[in-house]
Structure 1
Amino acid sequence: MRTVADSSVIVTGGGSGLGAATAAHLAERGARVTICGRRPEKVRTVAEAIGPAAAWVQADVDDPDDRARLVDAAVDHGGGIDVLVHCAGNLHAAPLAEIDEEDLVAMYRTNVISPTMLTQRALPHLVARQGAVVFVGAVDVRRVMAPAAVYAPSKAAVHRLTEVLAVELGPQGVRVSCVAVGAVATEIAVRSGALAAESAAREVEETFGPVTPLRRTGDPREVAEAIEHLAYAEWTTGAILDVDGGLGLGELEV
């Protein structure tokens, strides 16, 4: 396994939020990063801000052909693939009475099916480099939070997928872990309808800060640091690391 300063990394959902922060952080540490996203202007802006260490691809992880192009681009840019980070996600913030089957299927496709199939596509390269996969899970698996409760089962599947693939791929030298993320103001929450764009950070802080043991919400860079740790910790696999300020634990009543 290479060090971060000598590695090639794919980051999905790299046009904003956790994906953009992770790509920037790993590039600063010396990695060559290949980022993707559905909106070319967003992904290109992030890649240009990072500089020559970043390559970008307009790609929808739900599309098999786009997944193939992404893997090929990472191999061209970085000479192989050491780390695959799944930051692309779909959060549909609605109660059960208001969600329809199309919404639910789309959420599972992006959160579960697409990262599974992208991992499959990248697997030969990950085996060749004895690399790592990092999924992005959610504190919602441990602490149900309406009105996005139907989102939690999709992330529960991601947590279990992490464990299953860690066992399956470990003998091939590939490590698989997951960050279970707490309250962070990211664009996915805005697009879902859970937050207003102009007040996202304030809404998250006011809602979750008071009930988080550390009494504040998170910053995308803090999640990126945890992703880096899991990606390069050579004797760690199957880990689901809570990066949530303690939100998943709830509050101690005294």
Structure 2
Amino acid sequence: MTDKPFTGRTVVVTGGGTGIGRATALAFAGLGAATVIVTGRRKDRLDETAALSPAVVPVAADVTTEEGTRAVADAVTAAGGTLDVLVHNAGVFRFTPLAALDETAAQEVWDVNVVAPLRLTHRLLPLLRSPGGSIVLVSSRGGHNPGPGSSVYSASKAAVHSFTRSWAAELSASGIRVNAVAPGFVRTEAYAANGLSPEQVEGLFAGVVQGIPLGRVAEAEDIAPWITRLAEPGSDLVTGQVITVDGGMDVGGGAA
């Protein structure tokens, strides 16, 4: 297998300004992609990603909206009109007990985590290579292992798992594959976005690592290779799968 499996290909990565999205965009560029379109709502962070590789094209867009999805489609058209890989990485989490439900925050979680991938996939489907196209969704182990205070977030990721299986069945006749990666705890800026200080984040990780058999939380660079691998031509018999990357939390065996 070639070490540049995406040579000449066009990729879209949502939430490409930070964290897993940035690591994934750079991974695709390193594997030969001609154009990696990164989207998100923060232009400054997208520009930072683009500065790291000439293959990366920043498109500031809110893909929960029709205008935003159209901007991404226009960028794909400008890149040649055929999309090879679509990565739905953009996501938000808000952990609150049911009794303290914030309906505005809950709606944001649902819009970003569920409505956006549905709307963007619908918009880009006519541009997706058929056969040979690949969709990879970034989910969470919370989608199949919810915990207290995460009812809306976990439900949104369970919906992503449903999309993965349903779309895989529907699009297989067109030769388009659909898979998902479900990370556990990953060191990203998302915790700060939820109001946690760096010290609080490290305290959280120090606690959860006791329940991770492999002994550490993930970095964004640990997740990106699973996304690119699922999209590679060499994975052409893999579809409808949710791959959990959580250091073994789902199988147990960590410290009590």
Aligned equivalents of 1:153, 1:112: Cα separation in 2: 10
Match of 1:219 in 2: 219
Aligned equivalents of 1:57, 1:187: Cα separation in 2: 20
Matches within 5 A, 1:29-40: 29-31=31-33, 32-40=35-43
Q: Equivalent residue of 1:49, what SS?
A: coil
Aligned equivalents of 1:253, 1:19: Cα separation in 2: 31
Assess if the C-alpha contact under 8 Å between 2:21 and 2:90 holds in 1: yes
Aligned equivalents of 1:74, 1:192: Cα separation in 2: 32
Aligned equivalents of 1:53, 1:6: Cα separation in 2: 10
One-letter amino acid matched to 1:24:
L
Assess if the C-alpha contact under 8 Å between 1:89 and 1:111 holds in 2: yes
One-letter amino acid matched to 1:99:
L
One-letter amino acid matched to 1:224:
A
Does residue 91 of structure 2 align to residue 89 of structure 1? yes
Distance 1:207 1:146, change over 3 A: farther
| TM-score after normalising by structure 1 | 0.92
Distance 1:185 1:212, change over 3 A: same
Assess if the C-alpha contact under 8 Å between 1:7 and 1:78 holds in 2: no
Structure 1 stretch 9-18 or stretch 148-157: which is displaced more? 148-157
Match of 2:11 in 1: 9
Assess if the C-alpha contact under 8 Å between 1:175 and 1:237 holds in 2: yes
Q: Equivalent residue of 2:217, what SS?
A: coil
Aligned equivalents of 1:126, 1:201: Cα separation in 2: 39
Distance 1:56 1:78, change over 3 A: farther
Does residue 136 of structure 2 align to residue 134 of structure 1? yes
Q: Equivalent residue of 1:247, what SS?
A: coil
Does residue 149 of structure 2 align to residue 147 of structure 1? yes
Structure 1 stretch 215-224 or stretch 96-105: which is displaced more? 96-105
Aligned equivalents of 1:186, 1:160: Cα separation in 2: 25
Distance 1:39 1:168, change over 3 A: same
2:73 to 60, 71, 74: 71
Does residue 210 of structure 2 align to residue 207 of structure 1? no
Does residue 238 of structure 2 align to residue 236 of structure 1? yes
Matches within 5 A, 1:99-178: 99-128=101-130, 130-178=132-180
Aligned equivalents of 1:129, 1:9: Cα separation in 2: 15
Aligned equivalents of 2:166, 2:141: Cα separation in 1: 19
How large is the Cα RMSD of the aligned pairs? 2.0
